[in-house]
Amino acid sequence: MKQLTIILCFSVIFLSSLHQNRAQLEFELPKNGHTNNWAVLVDTSRFWFNYRHVANVLSIYRSVKRLGIPDSQIILMIADDMACNPRNPRPATVFNNANQHINVYGDDVEVDYRGYEVTVENFVRLLTGRLPPGTPRSKQLITDEGSNVLIYLTGHGGDGFLKFQDSEEITSQEMADALEQMWQKQRYHELFFMIDTCQAASMYERFYSPNILAVGSSLVGEDSLSHHVDPAIGVYIIDRYTYHALDFLESIDEHTNKTMGEFLSVCPKRVCISTVGVRRDLFRRNPFEVPITDFFGSVRPVEVITQVAPQPEVLNKTRYQVTSTPKKHRYVPPLVNFNSLV
Partner 1 sequence: MDFVSMGRKGRIQKPPVSDDPERPFRMYNIISYFIVLIVIGLPVWWFTTRVYRASLPLDRMFDVTLANKTDRQFGILLSLEYDVLITVVNPEPSRLHVNLEGEELEVYLRPFLEKVSPIADFVVKSQWLYLVELGARPTKVIDHYVLSEEQLPHVITPLEKKLWSHLSPRPCLNLVLYVSHCEVPLYIQEKSENATNAFLSPRWGGIVIINPDPDSCEKRIFQPNVKQIGGILTTQLSKMLRMEGTTKQDLIDLQKRKAEDMVDSTRRTLKSLAELLSEINSIVISDDVALKIKVAVDNADLADELMAKGEIENALTFAKVAFENSEAAFSDASLLALLYFPDDQKYAVYIPLFLPVMIPVLMSLLTLKKWLKEKEKTE
Question: Judged by CB under 8 A, does residue 247 bind partner 1?
Answer: no
Q: Least distance to partner 1 from the beta carbon of 177, Å?
A: 5
Question: Judged by CB under 8 A, does residue 302 bind partner 1?
Answer: yes
Question: Judged by CB under 8 A, does residue 129 bind partner 1?
Answer: yes
Q: Which helix (H) or strand (E) segment is 85 a member of? A: none
Which residues are CB-neighbours of 263 under 8 A, at least 6 positions away? 245, 248, 292
Active site (annotated) includes residue 272: no
Question: Judged by CB under 8 A, does residue 254 bind partner 1?
Answer: yes
What is the x/- site pattern for partner 1, positions 9-48, by CB under 8 A? -------------------xxxxx--xx------------
In the complex with partner 1, the residue whose CB is nearer, 127 or 267, is 127
Specify the stretch interacting with partner 1 by CB under 8 A; choose among 94-102, 130-138, 234-242, 278-286: 130-138
From first CA to last CA, the distance across the chain in angstroms is 94
In the complex with partner 1, the residue whose CB is nearer, 322 or 336, is 322
Q: For residues 295 and 188, what is the distance between their CA atoms, to the nearest angstrom?
A: 12
Q: Least distance to partner 1 from the beta carbon of 255, Å?
A: 8
Question: Judged by CB under 8 A, does residue 298 bind partner 1?
Answer: yes
Q: For residues 242 and 271, what is the distance between their CA atoms, to the nearest angstrom?
A: 12
In the complex with partner 1, the residue whose CB is nearer, 68 or 234, is 68
Query: Residues 46 to 75: which contact partner 1 by CB under 8 A?
Result: 68, 70-72
- Give one word for 330, left, alpha or beta, with left for phi > 0 and alpha for psi -120 to 50: beta
Q: For residues 54 and 98, what is the distance between their CA atoms, to the nearest angstrom?
A: 15
Of 224, 229, 219, 257, the closest CA to residue 240 belongs to: 224
Active site (annotated) includes residue 244: no
Residue from 131, 235, 266, 278 in contact with partner 1 (CB under 8 A): 131
Length of the chain: 342
Q: Least distance to partner 1 from the beta carbon of 251, Å?
A: 19
Q: Looking at this protein, which amino acid is placed at residue 96?
A: N
Map residue 184 onto helix, strand or coil: helix
Q: For residues 120 and 310, what is the distance between their CA atoms, to the nearest angstrom?
A: 55
The HSE-up count of residue 168 (CA atoms within 13 Å, CB side) is 11
In the complex with partner 1, the residue whose CB is nearer, 95 or 183, is 183
Q: For residues 276 and 200, what is the distance between their CA atoms, to the nearest angstrom?
A: 9
User: Annotated catalytic sites, by residue?
Assistant: 156, 198
Q: Which residues bind partner 1 (CB under 8 A)?
A: 28-32, 35-36, 68, 70-72, 120-121, 124-125, 128-133, 137-138, 144-146, 174, 177, 180-181, 184-186, 254-255, 297-312, 314, 317, 320-325, 329, 331, 333-334
